[in-house]
Amino acid sequence: MKEIRLHGRGGQGAVTAASILAVAGFADGKFTQAFPTFGVERRGAPVTAFVRIDDKFIRRRDEVYNPDILLVLDSSLFKVVDVTGGAKKGALVIINTTGKPEDYKLPGFDVKCIDATKEAFAVLGRDIVNTAMLGAFAAYTGLVRKDAIHGAVKEQFSSDLADKNIKLVDQVYEKAKN
């Protein structure tokens, strides 16, 4: 089982990203489970969401304490919450940032950096980075195929918005691959 924890701020779409990932993973033939931490939602507040991916139905219903993968939608969260808390040794940490892995001083973790905000602005015209980060997720982990994410994005958004988000996924995917 792979456990993923998403860190974002209210309004960035971390919870939606988790559900898109779950739908995509299921379409890819895997079993998935996604859920947010259930707080009192407000824009800008730190938000956490979880995804589990396995090859059989996922029964456990506790939160993710020891993630294999961290998806950080907002790098300023490192100053606010213990982003890597409990993460497995060697866990993959994907950060939305203009910085470089060495800036974050996270020994023992496999850190990847991508400037998702820039890409999101270019395509969507606003800083909702969830789908961009899923492009990076597909590229870095290979756990979910890019096409499956396309499908899940189509299910989530109306056609116009879906097309833009699919373009965004592709752009970030290509960028991360290179």
Partner 1 sequence: MEASHAISEAVKMIKPDVIAAYPITPQTHIVERLSEYVANGEIGAEYIRVESEFAAISACLGAEATGVRAYTSTSSQGLALMFEVLFIVSGMRLPIGMTVVNRALSAPINIWNDHQDSMSCRDSGWLQLYAETAQECFDLTVMQYKISENKDVLLPSMVGLDGFTLSHVYEPFFIPEQKEIDDFLPEYVPTHAILEPEQPLTLGPIGFPSHYMELRKTQVDAMEGSLKVIEKVFKEYSEKFPAQIKGTRPETYYHIEEYKMDDAQVAFVAIGSVCGSIKDVIDVLRSKGEKVGLVKIVTYRPFPMEALKKSLKNVKKIAVVEKALSPGANGPVFEEICSLLFEAKSDAEVRNFIVGLGGRDVKLDHIQKIFDMAKKGAGKKQEWMF
Q: Which residues of this chain interact with partner 1, rule CB under 8 A?
A: 18-19, 22-23, 26, 31-36, 38, 40, 56-63, 65
Cβ nearer to partner 1, comparing 35 with 157: 35
CA torsion, ordered 75, 81, 83, 88, to nearest 10 deg: 170
Burial class (CB in 10 A: 0-12, 13-18, 19+), 126: exposed
Report which DSSP code applies to 141. H
Confirm if 95 and 113 have CB atoms less than 8 A apart.
yes
Closest contact distance (angstroms) between CB of 51 and partner 1 is 9
What are the structure tokens assigned to 87, written together?
A: 């993460």
Cβ nearer to partner 1, comparing 15 with 176: 15
Closest contact distance (angstroms) between CB of 58 and partner 1 is 7
Cβ nearer to partner 1, comparing 8 with 97: 8
Cβ nearer to partner 1, comparing 15 with 73: 15
Closest contact distance (angstroms) between CB of 38 and partner 1 is 4
Burial class (CB in 10 A: 0-12, 13-18, 19+), 118: middle
Closest contact distance (angstroms) between CB of 90 and partner 1 is 22
